[in-house]
C-alpha cells in the first residue's frame, strides 16, 4: 500500500503547488515548508538559513572558510559559537527529517533528497515534475518575477540542485531509475494530479 509520495522537480515547474493540491486531495500531510521548519528545528536555526543552503552546494568561498575554521586551533574554538549552517549539516538533518516524515506515513514530501533516501521503500511512490523552459518562465512571471530574473533562477537553481545531488548521492540528476513517474506539468496541474493518483491506484491494485 502506497503511504508516501515524493515529489522531485525542476525549478519553476509548479511542483510545490501540485504537491499542495495533491496532499489536499488525499488528506495527507504535506512536507514542503514543514520539512524546512523541521530541519531548522533539528539544527536550532532559522528556517531562512535552511532555505538559503537547501539542495545546493555551498559557494567555494564558504567551503574554504569552513575548511579553515575546522582545520585550525582558532576554528576549533570558534565553530561551535558560530553554529555554522551549511549544506553538509543540512543534508544530515534532512535525512533524519525525511525518515521522520516517512515513519508517520500518509505524506507528500517535496524534494530534500526524499526520492533517494526512500528509494528502497515499497510503500513510496516517486514522481519527477518538469516543464519546458518557456512554460517555467511563464509560470514564474505570473508570480511577479521579471523575465530576466525568472530565466536566471531557472538556470542557476537547477544547476545547484544537480551539483548537490551529485555530491551527496553520486547520482546524475534527474536519474530516471529513481522515479515511478516523470511528467511534464505543461499539461496542467489537474492533469498531473489525476495522473499521479491513478498511477498510485493502479500500482496498489497490481500489488
Which domains can be identified in the chain, with CATH numbers?
A: 4-206 (3.40.50.300)
45 pLDDT tier (thresholds 50, 70, 90): confident
3-state SS, 40-106, equals: HHHHCCCHHHHHHHCCCCCCHHHHHHHHHHHCCHHHHHHHHHHCCCCHHHHHHHHHHHHHHHHHHCC
pLDDT score, position 65: 45
Residue-wise pLDDT tens digits, 115-144:
999 999 999 999 999 999 999 999 999 999
Strand partners, 109: 6, 31
pLDDT score, position 91: 85
Asked if residue 73 has pLDDT above 60, the reply is no
pLDDT score, position 76: 43
- CA dihedral for 179, 182, 185, 190, sign (positive or negative): negative
Asked if residue 48 has pLDDT above 90, the reply is no
Amino acid at each position: 500500500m502506497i503511504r508516501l509520495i515524493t515529489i522531485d522537480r525542476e525549478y519553476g515547474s509548479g511542483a510545490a503547488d501540485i504537491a499542495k493540491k495533491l496532499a489536499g486531495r488525499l488528506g495527507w500531510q504535506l512536507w514542503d515548508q514543514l520539512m524546512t521548519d523541521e530541519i531548522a528545528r533539528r539544527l536550532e536555526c532559522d528556517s531562512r538559513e535552511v532555505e538559503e543552503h537547501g539542495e545546493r552546494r555551498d559557494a567555494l568561498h564558504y567551503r574554504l572558510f569552513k575548511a579553515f575554521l575546522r582545520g585550525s586551533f582558532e576554528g576549533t574554538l570558534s565553530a561551535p559559537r558560530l553554529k555554522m549552517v551549511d549544506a553538509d549539516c543540512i543534508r544530515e538533518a534532512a535525512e533524519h527529517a525525511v525518515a521522520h516524515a516517512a515513519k508517520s506515513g500518509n505524506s507528500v514530501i517535496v524534494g530534500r533528497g526524499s526520492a533517494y533516501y526512500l528509494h528502497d521503500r515499497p510503500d513510496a511512490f516517486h514522481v519527477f515534475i518538469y516543464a519546458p523552459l518557456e512554460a517555467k518562465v511563464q509560470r514564474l512571471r505570473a508570480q511577479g518575477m521579471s523575465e530576466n530574473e525568472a530565466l536566471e533562477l531557472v538556470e542557476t537553481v537547477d544547476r545547484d540542485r544537480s551539483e548537490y545531488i551529485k555530491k551527496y548521492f553520486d547520482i546524475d540528476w534527474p536519474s530516471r531509475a529513481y522515479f515511478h513517474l516523470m511528467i511534464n506539468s505543461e499539461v496542467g496541474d489537474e492533469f498531473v494530479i489525476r495522473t499521479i493518483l491513478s498511477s498510485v491506484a493502479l500500482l496498489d491494485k497490481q500489488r
